Amino acid sequence: MARARLALLPAILAFCRCRLLGKRLKSRADLERYQQKRLRHWLKRDVPRVAAYAGDRVQNLTDLPVISKAELMTAFHRYNRLNLTAGAGWAHFAAKTQPDGFYIGASTGTSGNRGLYVISDAERAAWLGTMLAKALPRFPFERARVAIVLAQDAALYRQPGRGGLITLRFFDLNEGLASLPDRLEAYRPDTIVAPPKVLRHLAGLARSYAVKRLFSGAEVMDQTDRQAIRAGFGVEPGEIYMATEGLFAVTCPQGRLHLAEDVMHFHFEPGPEGSGLVIPVISDFSRKTQIMARYRMNDLLRLSDRPCACGSPLRVVEEVVGRADDLLDFPSDTRGLVTVTPDVIRNAVLDASRDIQDFRAEQTGENRLRVLLPDDLPQAAVEAVRQALTRLFARLEIAPDVIIERCHLEPPLEKLRRVRRLFTGGA
């Protein structure tokens, strides 16, 4: 209890800082100046305190190598101040224990691909304060009763708690989706943050509480999810783009997703040729316990060139497209190996028929795509999907075997990825 109360201060400070910066940083030049100042301080004071960068005199961010998740995980202890090894971290995680004053968490995902992270209680609280500052633009002039539904990291959100102008409660998805509507109804939130599959499930049920704000988090929100959520709640859902690596972007009151460049520096590597997509490389200058410097994420983003009407200089993301390891590659007689990004498959399937509310598309072999469609989908829609994919693949000069199956589609407990690469051979 005492710990939860102590952590309130960094949450409030982060909240206030985020709001002040929102007022102070009016242009890209303001923002970049601020980032450079924070980065200089971080590179001098915090980065050299982990083994990976100890002894380096780093002047510029670009002096550091870009690192991948695999590199970070194989030398985990070298990137955190506690010298905590990945083995020790996983042991804590499995036993649900924590080093005093710190929190160890992990991303959901397949066992070989899970990410581990360690943050201090103060950093965790600051993260929450920043998120609330961005997600609740009218707070503290309007009360908020926030429900956060996530499949993991219960303790990450177990503060600042109840009372006063803001009430916050965490709902653990591991306790089951079936009991969630009743638990939410008893709490009566006006703001819900949840994975899109959960919001969509809730949208289909008539519930008595009135929701003012919805945020999808932790997964890609497809158009089909957005429409179902909007129709069910009568509220346009925003997005909180976050992962174990931090808080990356939050939707503004104008409905556009802004990068959290006030707490993190973003650099972009080009995605697959011709896709117009980018892969973010982040440097989180607000975190000291675990250093994330020039860390290449596994995500594919479509950035926007259009500034936002809200006036924020924070860059706008048009769409979080999916994961970089869900790029599909099919052989072409004329073009070698052709990379197809998840959004291209998704759009082809969803645009084929209005009847399609859900699907999965998986590359299961070198030249094979399996498409799963709901078992109650009319045959005409199934045919429309087949034709849409045939047209798409002809245009791309590829010809994978397309196997379409109808089945009962359930949202998985882990992250929902509608387009996935299961075939691990080849490129």
DSSP 302-313: EE--SPPTT---
Which one of the spans 104-112, 244-252, 381-389, 398-406 is the region binding Zn ion (CB under 5 A)?
A: 244-252
DSSP 81-127: TT---HHHHHHHHHHT---TTEEEEE--S-GGG--EEEEEHHHHHHH
Which one of the spans 60-68, 70-78, 252-260, 388-396 is the region binding Zn ion (CB under 5 A)?
A: 252-260
Q: How many CB atoms lie within 10 A of CB 24?
A: 12
Smaller CB distance to Zn ion: residue 201 or 256?
256
Smaller CB distance to Zn ion: residue 156 or 314?
314
Residue 370 touches Zn ion, criterion: CB under 5 A: no
Least separation in angstroms between residue 160's CB and Zn ion is 26
Binding mask 312-331 for Zn ion (x = CB under 5 A): x-------------------
Residue 254 touches Zn ion, criterion: CB under 5 A: yes
Q: Residue 347 in contact with residue 331, Cβ under 8 Å?
A: no
Q: Residue 150 in contact with residue 218, Cβ under 8 Å?
A: yes
Q: Is 214 helix (H, G, I), strand (E, B) or coil?
A: strand
Smaller CB distance to Zn ion: residue 68 or 254?
254
Interaction with Zn ion in 285-314: which residues (CB under 5 A)?
Answer: 308, 310, 312
Q: How far apart are CA 101 and CA 119, in angstroms?
A: 9
Which one of the spans 45-53, 247-255, 331-339, 385-393 is the region binding Zn ion (CB under 5 A)?
A: 247-255
Q: How far is CA 32 from CA 261, 264, 305, 330, in A?
A: 9, 11, 17, 41
**Residue of the chain from 17, 124, 134, 256 that contacts Zn ion (CB under 5 A):** 256
Using CB under 5 A, count the residues that bind Zn ion: 6
Q: Is 188 helix (H, G, I), strand (E, B) or coil?
A: coil
Interaction with Zn ion in 78-97: which residues (CB under 5 A)?
Answer: none
Smaller CB distance to Zn ion: residue 213 or 256?
256
Least separation in angstroms between residue 239's CB and Zn ion is 12
Smaller CB distance to Zn ion: residue 124 or 256?
256
Least separation in angstroms between residue 238's CB and Zn ion is 11
Q: How is residue 263 written in tokens?
A: 């707490």
**Residue of the chain from 203, 252, 348, 352 that contacts Zn ion (CB under 5 A):** 252
Q: How far apart are CA 427 and CA 425, in angstroms?
A: 7
Handedness of CA 303, 308, 310, 313 (dihedral sign): positive
Q: What's 140's DSSP letter? A: T
Least separation in angstroms between residue 128's CB and Zn ion is 21
Least separation in angstroms between residue 309's CB and Zn ion is 7
Smaller CB distance to Zn ion: residue 260 or 348?
260
Which one of the spans 2-10, 83-91, 186-194, 249-257 is the region binding Zn ion (CB under 5 A)?
A: 249-257
Least separation in angstroms between residue 311's CB and Zn ion is 7
Q: How far apart are CA 5 and CA 14, in angstroms?
A: 15
Q: How far apart are CA 318 and CA 31, in angstroms?
A: 20
Smaller CB distance to Zn ion: residue 64 or 314?
314
Give strand pairing partners of 216: 194, 239
Smaller CB distance to Zn ion: residue 292 or 314?
314
Footprint of Zn ion on this chain (CB under 5 A)? 252, 254, 256, 308, 310, 312
